[in-house]
Structures are given as C-alpha cells and as structure tokens.
Structure 1
C-alpha cells in the first residue's frame, strides 16, 4: 500500500473513480474549455533549446 492509499483509507476514502457523472456537469463548458483553453496548455514550448532555472547555466550543458 502506498502512503496516499493509506492516508485515504485512514480517512474513509477510496482512490477509485466514481461510476456516475455529476448531475451538475456542464458539458457545454467542458467542450468550450477543450476547444479554447486546452490547445494553449498543450502547446509545446516556443523554443526547443534546453533551458535551466539556474542563472549561471543559461541552458548550456
């Protein structure tokens, strides 16, 4: 058992996904998000050059 599953079990929860969908689910809003927002999130980085968070490395190996 992983730590997360132990924690869920201790609090009476399960990691399983519910069988039914929510009655309050807004299919139109979900479709709109998939069409408008997801392509922006999914887009690969503008530059294929390697980068580094370190200011001294400047993306060089």
Structure 2
C-alpha cells in the first residue's frame, strides 16, 4: 500500500500544521504544560506529547 505524500493534506493544511508545531515548540521551551498547549492550538494532547518527545 502506498501513502499520499504529505499525508493527503492540502498545502494550506500542511502550512497550518507546521505553524502549529513551531508555536508548540516555542511554548514547550518555555515550560508550558501539554494540555494548555493542546487547548490553545486546538490540537490533541497526544499530538503535543509526540512533539515534545521529538
């Protein structure tokens, strides 16, 4: 099975995801909690946990 490049997202959604990831990275550096970041960026807590781990 082959997957669509970019996870099947449009360019707009990929840009939004990257912007969110960069904002989360900055907040993680500042020591914010995963739940707060997830709520503010409107993403899942699990996604923020993955970003923190990476």
TM-score (normalised: structure 1): 0.29
User: Whose radius of gyration is greater, 1 or 2?
Assistant: 1
Between 1 and 2, higher relative CO (CA 8 Å, sep ≥ 6) is seen in: 2
Identify, as 1 or 2, the structure richer in helix.
2
